[in-house]
Amino acid sequence: MLKPVAIALATLLLAGPAFAAGLTVTNNSGLPIDELYASAPGAARWSDNLMVGLAEGMLDTGKTAEVAMLADGTYDLQLSAPDENVLCVIANVVIAGGKVELTPDMGTACK
């Protein structure tokens, strides 16, 4: 179980800001997102910001944006929007098919 997560994180780190195809994130969490980080579940070892190069507001609630590549798997996601005093972790988020939707239920973890 740990090996696939380690491979996924290595893929993330190698992808960097110059990526051909990234993770499509749909934000229906009810929260603005200016910074997004990933970690193996429970590890709290956060990746670089997956939103490097995206303008502020690109992942406000109701929007969809492509961020840095993240392999399919299960992650903890750390959301940050410093101007709105948002900083929280959504645990055990499943990435599948290069896509993820952050739902209103996930957003309640941050409120």
Do residues 9 and 40 lie in contact, with contact meaning Cβ atoms separated by under 8 Å?
yes
In terms of Cβ atoms closer than 10 Å to its own Cβ (0-12, 13-18, 19+), residue 61 is: middle
Do residues 24 and 68 lie in contact, with contact meaning Cβ atoms separated by under 8 Å?
no
Render each residue's pLDDT in the chain as its tens digit; 111 residues. 545 544 455 544 444 444 347 999 999 999 999 999 999 999 999 999 999 999 989 999 999 999 999 999 999 999 998 887 888 999 999 999 999 999 999 998 776
In which element (H, E) is residue 7 found? helix 2-15
